[in-house]
Structures are given as structure tokens and as C-alpha cells.
A and B are shown apart, each in its own frame.
Chain A
């Protein structure tokens, strides 16, 4: 799964010109030329999102609608979540599994409805940009003719995140005020049809807004005209999701990692564990019962430089037990934080390990994830 194919010209999103006009530094990501940062830089963009509202172009992600006679039941053939009982108007996180129980991608799937509760139409799926071609091929191959996949390649995806995001967005989209975390609604705002979820990849309250490509510029500029809103690049998107303890596919998750190892057991519903009817169920049920061979840990680096992807993790005695899969500097905590995998059993919060940075061991404390508390709106 290359995030930076050199054999193909980079694609652009409908907001490419808007990024250039804002002075963005553009980089290749997931086959697209994307803004890694704007003029203020990663640190300020990160803190702005935690304090106000940040707007993100995530149009590289794959959007599609799955339809069929029983699309929810069919979808369960490739994921371990309970989708048959997914309520209309709700979104659910899940993982696409290979037959060994390894993660092909992580995704959001939902049943968007309008404010009257109608408009339910199959399953709306959002997957990672770098994985989307393979994901939709896997879904098509595994599910066969029982579902059709309509790719939404003519839609942009804009995320508005942060404590002031809701007030800004609800001004233009009053229907969004009735939504709580993981609700999904069809609505008309900015003169176009939107698919809106109250969720995101920062740990903050906010919305992800699927918008027709031709209206993306207008929606982006209208939202950005609010003084609470600044544009945020992929650099800060990465540091925000890391503070929120969320895995990044291709770094923390890959085809060898099971959802149990990754600490995503919440995505394996009880009825599915009993039915054992998803890909790799034998491995996953065994890991749930006995503990997986390796486990995901969250580490605060107590001294020295931030530990980055690839840094070894050693126990207190100096024996290498694992590796950092995502790591960096936390702008909120003002210290290094990291996600990594170590040999099981899972170390308790408070345990002291070492991260090896440029050959030197540095003390790191096992902590509970997330590093920075989530601030989702679960009740109105």
C-alpha cells in the first residue's frame, strides 16, 4: 500500500487551488498533492484546532455507497462489527479484514438519513485514500453481485474540527444542531446536498462534510470566512490524531496486525464474536480469549527527543520488546508521545519502558490512550 506512488502523476482534490491561494506547502500523500501545512505551521495549526476550529481537506479519502438486497448483512462478510443492527442515522468505525484477521484498512460506515428520518439508502462508506482502490476491489470481490458499489468520486470531503466547529457549522446547517457524536445526516446547506457526520480524526467535536465537488470551493471559503476557522494541513492532522490515540493505517495498522493487537476490540461486537463469521475469526477469537502475541501501547516519552516511527521499545532491563509505529511531539502535552507495539501481555499504565532514539535509551511511561481527552458531544 504505497502512499507515495512514483509511477503515476499526482491527483488533485477539488480544493487544490484553494490550498495554493492560502500559501499551503504541498506534498505527495496517498497519490494526491495535498497541503501538509499552511503559513502558520504545524504547531500553531494544531493548537488552533484544539482551541477554536480547524478546516481540513480530506477529499483524498474514498467515499462510496453500498447498495443491495441486504447491504448491511452483506457488509458483515468483510468486517467484524455488528452492522445488521446499525440504526438509521448512525455511523460506526470498523476494520476491513483479510482471511488471516489482518487489517486491510480502517473505515467509517453509516446509514445517513435526513432530519425526518427518511432517505436511508444502503451503507455510506469512507475509507483511507491510499487504500481506496484496493478496498473497494476487496469489497466487490468478497461480496460479489449481492451489493453494488457506487463510488462518490465527484464528492469532496471537508472536516471542521474543534470546540468552536459546531457553532460555526450550525449557523449554515441548522439541522446539524440536533446531531450527537457518530450521527449522520443528509441535509441541504450552502445550496447543495450534503452528507454530514458528527465525528472526525482529532478527538475534538466537529463534523465531516461530504459535498459535491463543484460546491467544495464555496463551502470551504464560506466556512473559512469565520474568524474562528483556520485551514489545517496534514501535518497537524497527524499530530492531532496521535494525541487522540487514533491509529493511522500504514503506520500503526497493516495487513499483519489484528484488531485485537491494535486495541480495537470495541470494533468486534459480541454477537459477531459468538457467530465467528468474519474473516480471520479463528485468530481473532483466540486472541480475545488468550491475549494477542503483541499489543498496542501508548507511551509518554519522559526525557530527551521525541521517539518517532521505527524507534525500538525496550523493557526496563534493556531488552528490545517492540517498536514505535507513530511518534512525535505533542503540542498540548509539550513532550514526546508515541504509539507502538510490544510483545504481550499488555503492560499496565505507569510501567516504565525505554524508547531507543539514535542509539540512546530514553525512559517512557505506559499511559492510557488517549493522550489528550476526547471532547465529543454525546448528548445535547
Chain B
């Protein structure tokens, strides 16, 4: 699993990356009440707004950590947005993206580096 400074994670399987938000991000947001996942077929560029996650109080953008085409969105979040809090780095995933530039993944932090980054916040 790789991580961004904006607290997204990426798990690559072949040429498809599963994307979600980290446990730290879920904790900061508080109880998630709504998730807007990207449409399947949409092409995203690393750094673009990609999804929106909403708590009672506010809406927050989630940025695409990598570029590619959305091949699946986590439909289960529609009825159970709280999954993002319960299992942010597992069943609370947002979308799967077919990588257009796999090298982007290598530029992301590994868990050790991400945890060191969290210590600086």
C-alpha cells in the first residue's frame, strides 16, 4: 500500500489501483455520512478532485493519487458510508483505477514514510 500527503492510499494489483482514504483521514473527518464516488469510465489525472466525502459538518475533496480510468466504484458506500470509518484501508475503498502511468505509484510514500509524515503534522 502506498500513501499521499493528502491521506489517500493506493493498493496496486496488476494494472489496477484500488484507492481510498487513510485511517488518519477518516479519524480527522469524523463520522462519514455520504460519499460521492467517481463515475465508472471517467478518466482522472493525479491530483484532480476524484471523490467527495462528507461528514455531518462538512464536505471534503478526495484527490486522485494516480492517473487512469475509473473501472469500478465502491457501490456499497451508498448505503453504508460509515464503512469508511469502520474499515478505511479495506472495505471502505472508494474506487478502482486502471493505471495509465504506473510509475506514479513509485513516487508515493510507503507506510513507513507515511507514518513518519504523520508525526510531523
Contact = CB atoms under 8 A, between A and B. Distances in A.
B33 A238 contact: no
A235 B59 CA distance: 13
B46 to A, nearest CB: 20
A129 interface: no
Given A305-B36, A305-B52, A358-B52, A44 B57 contact: no
A43 B56 contact: yes
Contacts of A328: 56-57
A197 interface: no
B54 A42 contact: no
Nearest to A329: B33
Given A41-B30, A41-B31, A305 B56 contact: no
A46 interface: yes
Interface in A287-319: 304-306, 308
Contacts of A42: 30-31, 55-57
Interface in A30-45: 36-37, 41-44
Nearest to A44: B31
Interface string B48-60: 0000101111110
Contacts of B33: 43, 306, 329, 331
B114 interface: no
B81 to A, nearest CB: 10
A329 B36 contact: no
Interface string A90-118: 00000000000000000000000000000
A59 interface: no
A354 interface: no
B56 A46 contact: yes
A239 interface: yes
A358 B34 contact: no
B75 to A, nearest CB: 15
A43 B31 contact: yes
Contacts of A36: 57
B34 A306 contact: yes
Contacts of A305: 34, 36, 52, 54, 59
A329 B56 contact: yes
A239 B57 contact: yes
Interface in A349-379: 358
Contacts of B55: 42-43, 329
B21 to A, nearest CB: 16
Contact of B36 (A44, A308, A358): A358
A71 to B, nearest CB: 39
B52 A306 contact: no
Contact of A235 (B36, B52, B54, B56): B56
Interface of A: 36-37, 41-44, 46, 235-236, 238-239, 304-306, 308, 328-329, 331, 336, 358
Interface of B: 30-31, 33-34, 36, 52, 54-59
16 contacts: A41-B30, A41-B31, A42-B55, A43-B30, A43-B33, A235-B56, A235-B57, A304-B36, A305-B34, A305-B54, A306-B59, A308-B58, A308-B59, A329-B34, A329-B55, A336-B34
Nearest 10 A-B pairs (CB), nearest first?
A43-B31, A41-B30, A329-B33, A42-B56, A235-B57, A329-B56, A305-B34, A239-B56, A43-B56, A41-B31
